Homo-oligomer: A and B are copies of this chain.
């Protein structure tokens, strides 16, 4: 009887890839691409390093898979959410921010923006993909809401593209913050309070005279 027997192997071809990308996401977000060891990813996924190479050609291929799977589903859901919305433009904006928090902020995928910020310049192709398939689609979602509000006179007229980025920044910063400095500080700000404040300021900032003075 061996003192410490190796745990019995399991053959789970179907489940491995997603378990590996899940483990990789966590570690890439925490440490960054270069500082993450494949060995650690494998261990976290409950396999050996060799197994990882059955499913991914290289460390970089694994990284690409993590980004490609990451936010695209959440975005699709957000798009259908927006399509089925019936309230005012501001309520839609509110729903989008709320949805962003529920679909991304509270999930493990909230780490992806931090990861892309850190690694964009090391992986321009991945950055390109992320820009086209996440950033632009996310912007379009907010842009539609803004445009609708301006056309109906609910919002003041402003440059939509610029306006979007200003509106999204606090929402993005919130999750980036929680995955970076906040992790070392135990000074957890309450996310809902923060988002409510953002919407409160926004309500006054967007609503108004409707004259569209530039």
**Chain A residues engaging chain B, CB cutoff 8 angstroms:** 30-35, 114, 116-122, 124, 127-128, 130-131, 135, 156, 158-159, 162-163, 165-167, 169-170, 172-174, 176, 179-181, 183-185, 189, 193-194, 197-198, 200-208
Which residues from B are CB-within-8-Å of A131? 181, 184-185
Asked if residues B208 and A204 are in contact (CB atoms below 8 Å), the reply is: yes
12 contacts between A and B (CB under 8 A): A32-B33, A114-B118, A121-B180, A127-B185, A131-B185, A158-B197, A162-B197, A166-B170, A166-B197, A169-B174, A170-B170, A202-B205
Asked if residues A180 and B35 are in contact (CB atoms below 8 Å), the reply is: no
**Nearest Cβ on chain B to A132's Cβ, whole angstroms:** 10
Q: Which residue of B lies closest to A128 (CB)?
A: B184
**Nearest Cβ on chain B to A29's Cβ, whole angstroms:** 9
Most interface-central of A116, A119, A163, A201 (chain B CB within 10 A): A201
Asked if residues A31 and B122 are in contact (CB atoms below 8 Å), the reply is: yes
